[in-house]
């Protein structure tokens, strides 16, 4: 009964999204206020029924209702309750339902928090989001309903959730990532609404900025968590694989980063307007492309759980309609855009334009590397895969250039800056960064290392230039505390995010250069040495978990004869699917991780043991979190709220 209610609620939600897609947009086009007023209640109703539908599926999982196909395929009565609930998005249908729920959640949020928005703009934004929701909910209902039943004979117990997904990381990673993916639909809707209304002044940029920043922060947070999850859960200590699905989330993030910066320029200076519109369209299109790549089964990947050509085709149609439709609209309307000011060759505008170009090039590089194998396959010229060396060879140098330009744009001023002032401001930061890059490998490693030199210099370059610019704010002030209070949250958010880039860069550099790893055959009593640590293998014993049995190894780690920690890596065997899984055991630290994983049992109680020494690996996620935090902080800027109340006051008067 409950699952049918869920399906019914989903159908009702589709009904409301269809009305939302038609009525407010028609109202805005024909200037009928009452029609436009419908947008808000419709958004609420749509969210209400999506939430009911999602809750019904959650209930079916909680009650072990294995007559529901999706539950039977992705859950099991032995599964701990928190994983039963996160299993809701452990497969194709449920994760799409989550996608649609989050979309309606964003729609609701826009309707609640955009009080300063003119009615016709709000109606258009919500209407565009209604169109997107219509597409996705129909996709759910027609090709991937999670509420289908196995009747009359249903399985006594479920087929279990993939053991890799039975983890805290899976509980939070997909919702966060989807918050980001879907969040770009708001920026997209604002761009389309601006194009539809023809009012392409800087106002739309100011409205859409906080939404874009939040979506970007969620996406970055989701990617960071995903990388961390892969590190500890996949059992081989990697943190980025250039897997197509990772790329699918990285591309909208890169374009989103460009969009964020471009929006800032559009709002403050009234230039780059059409470019910003285009970026908003691209960011969301890439989110959709990511969904298509993951869901259509065209890729060989851990994430590609569903391969169904019909589904792939449906998403492809949605993708073509979205991109085609919005670009057509863009082509008709964008030529009317006029820049409101000009800028010189050396100015913050120009440097941010360069930053945008670099980010776009990075996105295109990743896109080509991801789609090239598909293209070659479609042309029938053989099966290929593009390896990490391709991505590293192109991505890393461009990232370096981007970081160099970041330093310049920190100190450059809007409109025009004299070369003299830039030189004078950057001399000291430049010297400090080069010197630290030069010294660090001697202090930390065994001598000069080019990659460390570059990585540390670039990271220090960010930190010192950000600090230099921060210090510049106090030039004409006497009270430091007063000035600190005066600076806006969006300024602090920017600093946090830029320092985050530096922290991530330090982490990536050091973990790539100074990591050590060894795979060894170890019998009980054997010792091995790695990065000055001694690892003593004391054998394995059998342990029992909630829904698995495991061989648990005991490994004592000591440094120069002093005991550091004892780790217990496991080789698990899950009861239901009889699948094996490596559960790595990690001794985390700010400056180094010790990472142990069991390979396979060999003769005489010996095991293949994998040992990693990972210096500074935590930094790369720490930096990711700082960036995300920076994005969130910007939203608390008084400007957005003040603007709201001002408009409110005018409306009331």
Partner 1 sequence: MTPKRQKRLYIILGIVLGTSLIVGLVMYSLNQNINLFYSASQISNGEAPVGTRIRVGGMVVEDSVKRATDSLRVEFTLTDYEKNVNVVFTGILPDLFREGQGIIAQGKMDENGVFQAIEVLAKHDENYMPPEIAETMKEKKEAIK
Where along the sequence are the contacts to partner 1 (CB under 8 A)?
162, 164, 235-236, 300, 302, 305, 342, 357, 361, 364-365, 368-369, 372-373, 382-387, 389-390, 393-394, 519-521, 577, 579-582, 597, 599-600, 602-603, 608, 610
Q: How many residues does the chain have?
A: 653
User: DSSP letter at 585?
Assistant: E
Closest to partner 1 by CB, 169 vs 630, is 169
Evaluate whether 628 touches 217 at the Cβ level (below 8 Å).
yes
* Host H or E run for residue 134: helix 119-143
Q: Collect contacts of 133-136 with beta carbons under 8 A, ≥24 apart.
A: 133/13, 133/17, 133/20, 133/21, 133/46, 133/100, 133/103, 133/104, 133/107, 134/14, 134/17, 134/18, 134/21, 135/318, 135/321, 135/322, 136/96, 136/99, 136/100, 136/103, 136/318
DSSP state of 149: B
Query: Closest CB to partner 1 among 53 and 582?
Result: 582
Secondary structure (DSSP) of 90-114: SSHHHHHHHHHHHHHHHHHHHHHH-
Per-residue three-class SS string for 258-283: HHHHHHHHHHHHCCCHHHHHHHHHHH
Distances (CA, A) of 571 to 522, 582, 603: 15, 5, 16
H/E stretch holding 143 reads: helix 119-143
- Three-state DSSP at 342 gives coil
The DSSP bridge pattern shows strands 548-559 and 533-544 to be antiparallel
Closest CA to 187 of 97, 251, 280: 280
> For the chain, how long is the longest CA-to-CA vector?
86
Identify which of residues 117 and 581 has a Cβ nearer to partner 1 in the complex. 581
Residue number with CB closer to partner 1 (577 or 647):
577
Q: Which is nearer to partner 1, 248 or 597 (CB)?
A: 597
End-to-end CA distance of the chain: 52
Q: Looking at beta carbons only, is 238 or 588 nearer to partner 1?
A: 238
Q: How far is CA 376 from CA 248, 363, 384, 446, in A?
A: 19, 20, 8, 45
Instruction: Compute the distance between CA of residue 355 and CA of residue 349 in angstroms, rounded to an integer.
Output: 10
Of 41 and 387, which has the nearer Cβ to partner 1? 387
Q: In whole angstroms, how close is the CB of 545 to partner 1 at the nearest point? A: 16
Cα(576)–Cα(136) distance, integer angstroms: 33
Q: What is the DSSP letter of 572?
A: E
The residue among 376 and 564 lying less far from partner 1, judged by its C-beta, is 376
């Amino acid at each position: 009964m409950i699952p049918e209610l869920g399906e019914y609620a989903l159908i009702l939600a589709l009904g409301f999204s269809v009305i939302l897609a038609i009525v407010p947009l028609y109202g805005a086009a024909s200037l009928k206020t009452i029609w436009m007023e419908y947008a808000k209640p419709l958004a609420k109703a749509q969210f209400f029924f999506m939430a009911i539908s999602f809750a019904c599926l959650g209930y079916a999982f909680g009650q072990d209702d294995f007559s529901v196909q999706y539950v039977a395929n992705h859950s099991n009565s032995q599964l701990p309750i928190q994983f039963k609930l996160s299993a809701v998005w452990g497969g194709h249908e449920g994760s799409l339902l989550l996608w649609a729920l989050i979309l309606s959640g964003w729609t609701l949020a826009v309707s609640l928090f955009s009080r300063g928005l003119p009615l016709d703009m709000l109606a258009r934004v919500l209407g565009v989001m209604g169109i997107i929701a219509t597409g996705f909910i129909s996709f759910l209902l027609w090709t991937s309903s999670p509420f289908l039943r196995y009747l009359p004979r249903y399985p006594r117990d479920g087929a279990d959730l993939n053991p890799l997904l039975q983890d805290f990381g899976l509980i939070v990673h997909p919702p966060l990532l989807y918050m980001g993916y879907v969040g770009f639909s708001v920026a997209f809707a604002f761009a389309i609404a601006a194009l539809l209304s023809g009012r392409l002044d800087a106002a739309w940029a100011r409205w859409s900025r906080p939404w874009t920043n939040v979506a970007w922060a969620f996406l970055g947070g989701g990617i960071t968590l995903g990388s961390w999850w892969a590190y500890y859960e996949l059992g081989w200590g990697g943190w980025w694989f250039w897997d197509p699905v990772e790329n699918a989330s990285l591309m909208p993030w890169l374009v989103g980063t460009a969009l964020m910066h471009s929006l800032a320029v559009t709002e403050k200076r009234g230039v780059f307007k059409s470019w910003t519109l285009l970026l908003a369209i691209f960011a969301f299109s890439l989110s959709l492309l990511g969904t298509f790549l993951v869901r259509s089964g065209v890729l060989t990947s851990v994430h590609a759980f569903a391969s169904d050509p019909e589904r792939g085709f449906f998403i492809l149609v949605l993708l073509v309609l979205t991109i085609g439709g919005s670009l057509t609209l863009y082509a008709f309307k964008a030529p009317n855009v006029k820049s409101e000011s000009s800028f010189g060759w050396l100015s913050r505008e120009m440097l941010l334009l360069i930053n945008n170009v670099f980010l776009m090039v990075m996105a295109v590089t990743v896109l080509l590397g991801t789609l090239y194998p598909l293209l070659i396959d479609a042309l029938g010229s053989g099966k290929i895969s593009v390896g990490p060396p391709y991505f590293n060879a192109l991505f890393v140098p461009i990232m370096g250039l981007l970081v160099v330009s970041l330093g310049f744009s920190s100190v450059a001023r809007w409109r025009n800056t004299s070369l003299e002032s830039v030189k004078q401001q950057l001399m000291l930061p430049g010297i400090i960064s080069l010197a630290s890059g030069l010294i660090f490998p001697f202090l930390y490693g065994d001598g000069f290392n080019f990659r460390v030199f570059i990585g540390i210099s670039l990271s220090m370059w960010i930190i010192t230039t950000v600090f230099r610019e921060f210090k510049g704010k106090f030039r004409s002030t006497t009270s430091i505390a007063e000035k600190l209070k005066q600076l806006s949250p969006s300024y602090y958010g920017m600093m946090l995010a830029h320092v985050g880039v530096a922290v991530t860069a330090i982490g990536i550099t050091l973990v790539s250069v100074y990591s050590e790893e060894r795979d060894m055959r170890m019998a009980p009593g054997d010792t091995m040495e790695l990065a000055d640590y001694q690892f003593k293998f004391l054998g394995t014993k059998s342990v029992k978990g909630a829904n698995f049995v495991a061989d648990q190894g005991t490994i004592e780690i000591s440094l120069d004869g002093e005991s550091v920690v004892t780790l217990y890596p496991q080789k698990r065997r899950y009861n239901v699917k009889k699948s094996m899984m490596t559960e790595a055991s990690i001794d985390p630290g700010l400056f180094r991780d010790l990472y142990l994983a069991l390979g396979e049992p060999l003769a005489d109680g010996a095991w293949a043991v994998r040992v990693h020494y990972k210096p500074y690996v935590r930094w790369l996620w720490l930096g990711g979190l700082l960036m995300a935090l920076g994005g969130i902080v910007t939203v608390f800027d008084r400007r957005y709220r003040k603007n709201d109340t001002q408009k409110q006051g005018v409306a009331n008067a």
